[in-house]
């Protein structure tokens, strides 16, 4: 399975995931392996917060910037 993940050129976008009735959040491996469109630092930060049970909004939503700013202010 890990070899298949390496061979995948990119992961599904949020819109593509919705069209096939998948949850909006990408699999962790998409972020960990820097697969497009989840290769940004925002996604890496999101995964870190998600794993810490901080319940972050997705970085590709307007709520992300506000959520990050609120965390930085603490």
- Which one-letter DSSP state was computed for residue 40? S
In the predicted model, residues of the chain with pLDDT beneath 70 are: 1
pTM of the model: 0.88
Q: Are 59 and 43 in contact (CB under 8 A)?
A: yes
Please report the pLDDT score of residue 45 as a whole number.
96
Please report the pLDDT score of residue 1 as a whole number.
62
The Cα–Cα gap between 7 and 22 comes to 21
């Amino acid at each position: 399975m890990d070899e298949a993940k390496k061979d995948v050129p990119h992961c599904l976008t949020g819109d593509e995931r919705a069209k096939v009735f998948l949850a909006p959040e990408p699999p962790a491996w998409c972020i960990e392996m820097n697969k497009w469109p989840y290769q940004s630092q925002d996604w890496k930060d999101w995964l870190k917060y998600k794993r810490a049970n901080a319940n972050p909004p997705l970085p590709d939503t307007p709520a992300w910037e506000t959520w990050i700013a609120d965390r930085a202010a603490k």
